[in-house]
Amino acid sequence: MFVLHIALQGCLRGDDVAYGLTADTGGHIRYLLDLVRACDRDPASDRIVIATRLFESALGADYAVPEEAVSDKVTIVRLASASPDYLPKEALHGEVASFSEALVAWIAAQPVRPAIIHAHYADAAAVAALVEDRLGIPFVFTAHSLGRVKARAMGRPPTDTPSLAHRIAAEETALARAALVIASSRDEAEVQYATYAAYDPGRIRVLPPGSDLARFHAARTCPRVDASIDRFLREPGKPALLALARPVARKNLAALVTAYGESPELQARANLVLVAGTRDDLADLDGGMAETMRDLLVLIDRHDLYGLVAYPKTHRPDDVPALYAYARERGGVFVNPALNEPFGLTLLEASAAGLPLVATDSGGPNDIVETCGNGLLVDPRDPAGIARACLRILTEPGLRDRYVAGGERAAAAYDWDRHALRYHALLRALGAAEAPSSHPRQLLICDIDNTLVGCDAGLTAFRLWRSEQEGLAFGVATGRSFHSAMAILEQQASPRPQVMITSVGSEIYHLDANGVSYTADRAWRDTVSRGWSREDVRAVLGQVPDLVPQGPLEQRPHKLSYFGDAATARRVRGRLDAAGLAASIIHSHGRYLDVLPPAASKGTAVDHVRALYGLAEGNVFVAGDSGNDVEMLRVRRQAIIVANFSDDLATHAALGHSYVARASHARGVIEGVAHFRKRPVHAG
């Protein structure tokens, strides 16, 4: 497979990238190069080309070299566009037409055309769309960061900044045109993209980036790096609050300095270390970086933090592990206060090096902290909250050790080789689409967690069994959101479902003809919207004692999720009834409580899908393991309870008709289908 990447921003070269050299030479280049290296290791990849701009600049001669071999399979190709100079991202829209022409000519000269194009950032997507128009090559899109998110963080409408308005328009086009959108986190997929008119959740996949964490796990201090920091500090042995980011406004380093400067207790317990890019002379910094650095220096002076804050001028890329080790050896904390962090590779690196985290609650850190349990999330606009979180880790017994232990999970959870396998599987599937059957003879819907997945051997058996089932449409019904469900299914290499019933039956998605993306069922959305007063329900439940909301990502337009026991669930029912608000309440695993529209459940969603396929009741199988499957199991004649059930399903009064399998997980599903197929089928 030949994959062509387009990346127009920053100073891109194959090795020793000068991160922070310009405002646009940052994490997206690191992401791209790491992705390409992982894809290079995968035998599925035949050729990889990165197409970027060629320009003359005092920034370095490398960027005027037309072609750079990175490995036997990987090449960076630099193409001339209208301007011969380095340009910031705000000016790149003017290069789209000329760069597209150069790229079309380059592709035409190749012996084999790329199978697919991967566009990085909005202007690259604009180029990819023009190439697709000319040559018919589809493209996937990674935004890296989004203009609407930036505008919200800046607190002013995009129309106030013409370049930002242009960027947002290009992002709308990218979302509308891309065959698939690659997101780094659920926050990006479910919150950030949702602000766009072209938002289509079924065409977005969450593929968390990996990181070369082995070198950070083995990080050791370096006397030269230590000296570059210690020279600023009166007590260099104190714990260090370490921040590592380019000095740009959205990284919000000023809030961290303010948090530190306004907390005498934090100053007494720790030093602050700001590693903010690389500079020879402040006046030579690109774009707004000089202004940001001046703002930081003003804050340091205003709070009289001399001797307490270190801000070294330079560091090399290979110094980064030693920077983490510096903070770790002093019992410190890594802090990322960005207004929004699309993913957060530095969080993974710091965790692997043995540092607990205090991180922004906006963006990818939500996923990282939830997955690894390695730190605290904070509102980046609340300096006092940032200070409190840092002090908690520094002072609460055992908390720091718990977060450090959580960081050990980062390497397994965020691995580039695993990312590359999923990425290539998606690209291959786009190129060899198998349209789903529109007239199946039977339908199987099963829960995901602890039913379909949870036993590797069982899922392996299910994959083989599924491949032999002609005429059987396969779907899932889960409490997870669409993107959370897709992530676990693809990580486990599950057969791709033809239909996905998600968020406890409140959403339905159908597999598209390309065999990869999905389309939301609008008719079902209209059905569950009737009689649903989400904000009224939320307001009433906000007054219920001991009812704790689950995380923001678990709250959906047609689902409110909480933690609570059975007694709490009864109180919720009573409050809603007293308020005259119609809702369905699903309690499962003794602690999860979902409040849904009255028409929404896994059971009603399965019946909607059954009707779409024109199937009789006797041709539908459902399988589950827990309390949030009861509605689905209760109303289906051919209901399967796998052997590893919870919530006393086997003795549930409404489930006496169910088949309780002797086998657990996916093997139990196979067993149950075989059991019902042996019985006579009645119309209905």
Question: What tens digit of pLDDT does each residue of 138-187 get?
Answer: 999 999 989 998 888 777 787 778 888 899 999 999 999 999 999 988 88
Position 433 scores a pLDDT of 63
**Where does CATH 3.40.50.2000 sit in the chain?**
2-206, 213-414
- Closest residue by Cα to residue 74 from 35, 107, 27: 35
- What confidence tens digit (pLDDT) does each residue in 347-404 have? 999 999 999 999 998 777 888 887 788 999 998 989 999 999 999 999 998 999 999 9
- What confidence tens digit (pLDDT) does each residue in 632-668 have? 999 899 999 999 998 889 999 999 999 999 999 999 9
- Mean pLDDT on 133-139: 96
CATH number of 213-414: 3.40.50.2000
Indicate whether 682 pLDDT > 60.
Answer: no
Indicate whether 476 pLDDT > 80.
Answer: yes
Q: Give the β-pairing of 584-588 and 592-596.
A: antiparallel
pLDDT band at 340 (very low <50, low <70, confident <90, very high): confident
DSSP for 605-621, please give it: HHHHHHHHHT--GGGEE
In sequence order, the 6+-apart residues with CB closer than 8 A to the CB of 408 are none
**Where does CATH 3.90.1070.10 sit in the chain?**
532-596
CA distance 356 to 460: 37
Report, at the CATH architecture level, how domain 532-596 is classified: Alpha-Beta Complex (3.90)
- Mean pLDDT on 473-499: 92
**Most confident listed range (183-192, 409-418, 463-472, 675-684):** 463-472
CA distance 484 to 494: 14
- Mean pLDDT on 609-635: 93
**Where does CATH 3.40.50.1000 sit in the chain?**
433-526+601-678
Q: Which position has the higher pLDDT, 617 or 278?
A: 617
Position 341 scores a pLDDT of 83
What is the percent of the chain where pLDDT is above 70? Answer: 99
Indicate whether 6 pLDDT > 90.
Answer: yes
Query: What residue type is 603 in one-letter code?
Result: G
Indicate whether 681 pLDDT > 60.
Answer: no
Indicate whether 461 pLDDT > 50.
Answer: yes
Query: Which conformational region is residue 410 in: left (phi greater than 0), alpha (psi within -120 to 50 degrees), or beta?
Result: alpha
- Mean pLDDT on 251-269: 97
Position 680 scores a pLDDT of 64
Report, at the CATH architecture level, how domain 433-526+601-678 is classified: 3-Layer(aba) Sandwich (3.40)
| Least confident span in 62-76, 443-457, 586-600 | 586-600
DSSP for 576-615, please give it: HHHHT---EEEEETTTEEEEE-TT-SHHHHHHHHHHHHT-
CATH class given for the domain over 2-206:
alpha beta
